[in-house]
Structure 1
Amino acid sequence: MDKEGASLRTCKIVRGGEAFRGKQGLDYFAGISAESAGSEALCMHLVILPPGAKARPHYHESHESAVFVLEGVAEFLHGPNLEHRERVEAGDFIYIPAGVPHQPCNPTGRTVRALIARTDPNEQESVVVLD
């Protein structure tokens, strides 16, 4: 893109995004997305897992995800049959390839907060919930 094309675009600040319940069964706090900022290729939200919370098993069709755990300790199940179980904690990064089933869980008594980024700019467009 040339300078002239770039000057037609503007930066956006999204303050304190509103909460929404995702298809996965968790509460997300809207950050950057096509809906909030006009993003064309990425989405970034805050997710909170209260004590005992468990997402519905799911995957993101055709889109990669990255997670940074800000606070707490969680379990992360992943793989075709959710056969892999990992412990993740504050400071850990998680990479999730497109199409890989996964399920975050909080088996602890403390809240977990994580920042999530996806290459799908839509807040929930590519989420496929598994039975």
Structure 2
Amino acid sequence: MSSGSIEEPGDVRDCVLIPGGGRQFEGRQNVSYFEGISAQSAGSKALCLHVMRLPPGGHAEPHLHADHESAVYVISGTVEHRWGDGLRERMLVLPGDFLYIPAGVPHAPYNASDTEPAVAVLARTDPNEQESVVLLPDLSVPDR
């Protein structure tokens, strides 16, 4: 059994463990994240994976990822995903649901509960934690 390394022909790389309960930080989108896999934490070349926590009634600032796709898996809570031109499109994303967000699509998640936090796992094809985040200050999150 290997002790944390994967060997490929002509290439030796180390696997990296990021212990649970890792560093928490605030993203540019005004959302709390728990650090997972990124270029900075694990040396990832094409993937970023974190846990997002939205407080009751909380939302991210409108933003997009210009060249990178995103995927979301909701663990708990109900997230209202707002996207598109003027963030006029809406859908509820429930625990167990997966959501795909294409590159370049304006979006902002919103916690639909006034009492429970929402928790989701986020993956992006940009390995740098905040490099591809483009804030959209001209957009505001529409009222409920």
Q: TM > 0.5 between the two?
A: yes
1:87 aligned residue (92, 113, 122): 92
For residues 10-33 of structure 1, the C-alpha deviation after alignment (integer angstroms, 9 at most, x for no partner) is 111101320010000000000000
Aligned to 1:14: 18
CA RMSD for the aligned pairs? Answer: 1.2
Q: TM-score, normalised by structure 1?
A: 0.95
1:85-104 deviation digits (Å, cap 9, x = unpaired): 11111001000000100000
CA distance in 2, matches of 1:71, 1:38: 29
1:59 aligned onto 2:64: yes
* Residue identity opposite 1:127 in structure 2: V
d(CA) in 1 for partners of 2:8, 2:35: 30
Alignment partner, residue 44 of structure 2: 39
Task: Report what 1:48 is aligned to.
Answer: 53
User: d(CA) in 1 for partners of 2:123 and 2:10?
Assistant: 26
Identify unmatched segments of 5+ residues in structure 1: none
Question: Structure 2, unaligned stretches of length 5 or more?
Answer: 1-6, 138-144
1:49-80, Cα deviation, whole Å (9 max, x unpaired): 11011110000110000000011111100112
| 4+ residue segments displaced more than 6 Å | none
Larger Rg: 2
Aligned-partner residue type, residue 124 of structure 1 = Q
Q: Distance in 2 between the 1:123 and 1:111 partners? A: 22
Match of 1:99 among 97, 104, 114: 104
Structure 2 length-normalised TM: 0.86
Q: How does 1:88-127 map to 2 (within 5 A)?
A: 88-108=93-113, 109-127=115-133
One-letter amino acid of the structure 1 residue matched with residue 128 of structure 2: N
Matched residues in 1 for 2:10 and 2:51: separation? Answer: 31
